[in-house]
Amino acid sequence: MVPSFFAIVAILACAFGFVEANPHRKSCVIKSGQSKEIDDAPAILHAFKECGQHGRVLFEPQTYYVNSVMNVSWLKDVDIEIHGTLEWSTDIMYWLNNSMEVGYQNQSTAFIIGGDNVRINGFGTGTFNGNGDDWYKWIRQQKNTSNYPGRPHALTLSHLTNSAIHGLRFLRSQMWTMSVIHSHNVVLDSIFVNNTGNSAQSSNTDGADTIYSSHIVFNNWTVYNGDDSISLKANSTDITISNCKLSNGLGIAIGSIGQYKDQFETIERVSINNIDYENTLHAFYVKTWTDDQNGYPPNGGGGGLGCTSIWRRSDESEGNGTSRGRLCSFAMHAIFWGPGVGNCTNSQFQIKNVAIKNLSGTTQSTRVASLQCSAVAPCTNITIADVDLHLANSTEANSYLCGNVMSPAGFMCTGDVCVGGSATGEC
């Protein structure tokens, strides 16, 4: 009998989180050069080459200065202990010219980890410091402040299988904090992300993004950022997000998706439970591209095919009834680029079989949901039930704005949705 996904997760969690690394394995202890002028990346890569298969790699409680790209995509049955801090250099021109391809949306990264049966433990103190303040200031001086070519993700898990990462901290990531691509059966537990800029507001600093990946568990994450807290993109299936605190961002994003013309993509079997939101724009939202192709990724596209289905959430609290700031429980909208470009109701990407239950807390909007669905592929089998959202003055949030929603369950549409590129769902 093949073990269930949840059995696999339990096995991985026990194997990683609560069992000491084998002290009898070949171990490589990495020494820091203890200077920003000394690139520690070669020493780190050497340790992985020596001990990255059936061994143990240990970072001491020191600061390691990373001034060049690192790719360790061939790991196998390895314990990685991170007791110190990896700090990335602020040589923006180097990273723009040397960051490595992720394999989606023309995105790139500073660090790739891949392989099978990889166990990483940060013990709650192991830190990746992206020195993002320099990036946040620089990007705001450019015409394109979003997916600037060559701007790297802090970490990419690529072709990683049957693995677990526990207790890492990410501070001021250069762009997206973590991209998970072509990876399967991975537990990401007790991760802390703070991409709050000290001298400039951060932009496009997602906490994590999944792409072409399955059976991924996000458990006990804390995310402070100004963009998507966690985002599920193309062909993300069997994803669990639980016991997380998400602050000062856009919430959980499904998408964006449908960006590649005539390509079929899907997001299915997603479970989201016990999430505490504070000052987030949405609790979650779905972003699909229109059927009109305008430009190419990463900052253009459209015309994709596919569906999002079988998506459940339950036992959710929004700040335990005391969340602050704008908090929108659910939004669906199309993406288009340029003034007046694109038809926001012509997407062939369909949203169906979605159940949202047990939403509670405070909000700054009377709107519970804004569903801007496609006229070509309407939203079907959408359930929203057991909602207890109030404004600070105790006024109940009871507005449901709908466009092309077929046979809603658990709620009644109270008005027409705003058609356009509104990020909030408001007119």
Here the tokens at position 72 are: 């360790």
pLDDT at residue 76, rounded to an integer = 98
Catalytic entry in 79, 189, 209, 227: 227
The half-sphere exposure of 16 on its side-chain side, counting CA atoms within 13 A, is 29
Cβ distance 372 to 426 under 8 Å? Answer: no
Q: Distance between CA atoms of 228 and 244, rounded to whole angstroms?
A: 14
pLDDT at residue 75, rounded to an integer = 98
Residue-wise pLDDT tens digits, 270-280:
988 899 999 88
For 124, 159, 382, 395, the CA distances from 61, given in Å and listed in that order, are 12, 29, 50, 51
Position 1 confidence tier, pLDDT thresholds 50, 70, 90: very low
Non-local (6+) Cβ contacts of 399 within 8 A are: 365, 366, 367, 368, 414, 415
Which domains can be identified in the chain, with CATH numbers?
Answer: 5-416 (2.160.20.10)
pTM, to two decimals: 0.87
Query: For the purposes of burial, counting CB atoms within 10 Å of the CB of 382, is it exposed (0-12), middle (13-18) or buried (19 or more)?
Result: buried
Instruction: Name the average pLDDT for the chain.
Output: 83
Q: Which residue has better confidence, 74 or 283?
A: 74
Annotation marks residue 227 as catalytic: yes
Least confident of 48-57, 188-197, 240-249, 268-277: 268-277
Position 294 confidence tier, pLDDT thresholds 50, 70, 90: low
Amino acid at 381: N
The half-sphere exposure of 117 on its side-chain side, counting CA atoms within 13 A, is 11
Kindly state the average pLDDT of the residues 253-265: 68
Least confident of 86-90, 339-343, 394-398, 404-408: 339-343
The half-sphere exposure of 282 on its side-chain side, counting CA atoms within 13 A, is 26
In terms of phi and psi (left: phi > 0; alpha: psi -120 to 50; beta: otherwise), the region of 410 is left
Residue-wise pLDDT tens digits, 131-179:
999 999 999 999 876 788 999 999 999 999 999 999 999 999 999 999 9
Here the tokens at position 47 are: 């340790």
For 103, 162, 216, 263, 323, the CA distances from 186, given in Å and listed in that order, are 19, 6, 5, 26, 30
Position 322 confidence tier, pLDDT thresholds 50, 70, 90: very low
Residue-wise pLDDT tens digits, 102-120:
999 889 999 999 999 999 9
Percent of the chain at pLDDT exceeding 90: 52
DSSP reduced 3-state for 98: helix
DSSP reduced 3-state for 308: strand
pLDDT at 320 exceeding the cut of 60: no
Q: Which residue has better confidence, 129 or 424?
A: 129
pLDDT at residue 212, rounded to an integer = 96
